[in-house]
Amino acid sequence: YFIILLTWILALSHLCLLYSPDLREIVFIIQSQNNSFHVRQADKRRADLLKQAQGLTKKPPVVLLLHSLSHNEGDWSILPLLPYLSYSFGKNSSWIVFLEEETNVKMNTLIQVLAKFDKNKDWFLGKPLHDEESTIIHHYAFAENPSIFKYPDFAAAWALSIPLVVRLANKVRDEPLKSDFTIDLKHEVALYIWDSGKGPDLTAVPELCTEPENSPQALYCATTLSSEPPLTRSLLDVKPCIGFFLPFALVPVIKKTWEKDALFLEYYSDHADPTIPTINLGVPNTERGHCGKTFAILQRFLSSAVPNTKWLLIVDDDTLISIPRLQVLLSCYDPSEPVCLGERYGYGLSQGGYSYITGGGGMVFSREAVVRLLNSGCKCYSNDAPDDMVLGMCLNALGLPVTHSPLFHQARPEDYARDFLAHQVPISFHKHWNIDPIAVFNKWLKDDLRANPSDGLNKSTKTEL
């Protein structure tokens, strides 16, 4: 009886191999970024994919790093890249699999999972996320029933069948991409593919997972989140600055939440107030924009009026941020490089636009980035220009990359999918609208590190960062 069963299992596994796609039919694209730390991470991921493939086949699959495909700033938004993908792989491949640097792939399982789908049809595969309530970051889409629309969690990897890539590429060629702003790429990509019902929905693939790779739940997963050795907590001096000071009522929130974690902190306003205290930068307060003030902060950062630190953080007065987590994250980056870090948005990316770090989630600059920005002579076209977008234009003109971290958030926790937040240790949130900011800080951003400061963040926290 056992022997028969075993033979059956063997026969079945052979069947699987028989129908599984050739690894050469799968093109892997790592959603990599042009920054030395991220390039190292992406190279490691690529090496792992090729090593696994070597054990399965003589001919390695194509593994591409997104940031190195061209010098086009908009490539990270994927859609402008579709014509290239269709042209290069439309004839000789079956699947394009997108993954992030920290997406761990079990090659064997992934091949078997893809084999379940007819490669001659349109497929958009992934781990679905959905909104609980309509949210500003998705332009309040599907306001009547936000949870009906599914979009992929990029961390679990996502895949397009080649027939779909070819069709989408034709669409991109025929009608130029419309959207001005790229805010939450995964949602925007899903909307574009769905095409008001003319295209496919996201098909949920349970084997595409975001569990940590060693967790028992990950047994049947084709993808997991890598559990790299924990980051070492290095000695850092972060210099956070609070810019743009509007309602004074918000200061008590900062004082009760993250102020004490900052090594050096200044509040800026259009007049000096010794009770906070604030510093007058000599730039009038503006209703919107704040570009003038932000450039004054950049200049002050390089001046002898403040301690010489490696990093500058600029946030709004209604940003909630975890300074200890930011310090751990920054230990990955080299402050002697021009680093500009935060939540990346895009403007007009499909027509030669630019990327920028959205201000509300917090903008982090290395000293070198500030030096280059100011030396370039780039400046505000008016004091009330949107500071984050002007900085993005300046960086773009200088050819300096904007580095994205999904741990920074331009909106409130309720504006993001629950399953998306579930596998991250967030660094910031923004806006106090309809929430109790202190409760949000305590729930999402507070670590009780002071109890055991030498211990730092615990292992799971470090891993995620």
Residue numbers at the binding site for ligand NAG (CB under 6 A): 24, 34, 62, 67-68, 71, 88-89, 92, 399-401, 447, 458, 460-461
Closest among 243, 255, 264, 261 to 438, alpha carbons compared? 255
Instruction: Please state the closest distance from residue 43 (CB atom) to ligand NAG, in A.
Output: 14
Alpha-carbon gap, residue 244 to 195, rounded angstroms = 40
Residue 252 vs 399, nearer CB to ligand NAG: 399
d(CA 412, CA 135): 10
Closest separation in Å from C-beta 67 to ligand NAG:
6
Contact call for residues 210 and 224 (beta carbons, < 8 A): yes
In a 3-state reduction of DSSP, which class is residue 179? coil
> Which CB, 240 or 456, lies closer to ligand NAG?
456
Q: Which CB, 67 or 412, lies closer to ligand NAG? A: 67
Q: From the CB of 364, what's the least distance to ligand NAG, in Å?
A: 16
The minimum distance between CB 49 and ligand NAG, in angstroms, equals 15
Cβ neighbours around 433 below 10 Å, total: 11
Q: Shortest distance, CB of residue 25 to ligand NAG, whole angstroms?
A: 6
The smaller minimum CB distance to ligand NAG, of residues 174 and 455, is found at: 455
The full DSSP string for 20-43 is: SPPGGGEEEEE---SSHHHHHHHH
* For ligand NAG, the closer CB: 271 or 459: 459
CA pair distance 416, 132, nearest whole angstrom? 9
Is the CB of 72 or the CB of 203 nearer to ligand NAG?
A: 72
Rounded distance, CA 459 to CA 454, Å? 13
Three-class SS state of 73:
helix
Q: Supply the minimum distance, in Å, between the C-beta of residue 339 and ligand NAG.
A: 9
Q: Which is nearer to ligand NAG, 213 or 447 (CB)?
A: 447
| Beta carbon nearer to ligand NAG, 23 or 389 | 23
Dig out the tokens for 452 from the structure. 């055991």
End-to-end CA distance of the chain: 50
Cα–Cα–Cα angle for 26, 32, 330, rounded to 5 degrees: 150
Q: How far apart are CA 160 and CA 193, in angstroms?
A: 10
Contact between 95 and 22 (Cβ < 8 Å): no
Name which of 210 and 269 has its Cβ closer to ligand NAG. Answer: 210
- The token duo for 117 is 């789908």
Cβ of residue 62: shortest distance to ligand NAG, in angstroms? 5
Strands 363-366 and 403-404: unpaired
Q: Which residue in 71, 155, 159 sits closest to 110, CA to CA?
A: 159
Nearest in space to 401 (alpha carbons), one of 372, 436, 359, 439: 372
260 versus 271: smaller Cβ distance to ligand NAG: 260
**Closest separation in Å from C-beta 93 to ligand NAG:** 6
Q: In Å, how far from its chain's centre is CA 26? A: 24
The residue type found at 206 is P
User: How many other C-beta atoms are found inside a 10 Å radius of the C-beta of residue 193?
Assistant: 22
H-run or E-run covering 352: none
**226 SS3 class:** coil
Q: How far is the CB of 261 from ligand NAG (least distance, A)?
A: 14
Residue 348 Cβ vs ligand NAG, minimum distance, rounded to whole Å? 18
- Considering the complex, what minimum distance in angstroms separates the CB of residue 452 from ligand NAG? 10
CB closer to ligand NAG out of 285 and 424: 424
Q: How far is the CB of 276 from ligand NAG (least distance, A)?
A: 30
Q: Which helix (H) or strand (E) holds 254?
A: helix 251-256
- CA–CA separation, 388 vs 385, rounded Å? 9
Minimum CB distance to ligand NAG smaller for 33 or for 405: 33
Q: Which secondary-structure segment (H or E) carries 313?
A: strand 311-315
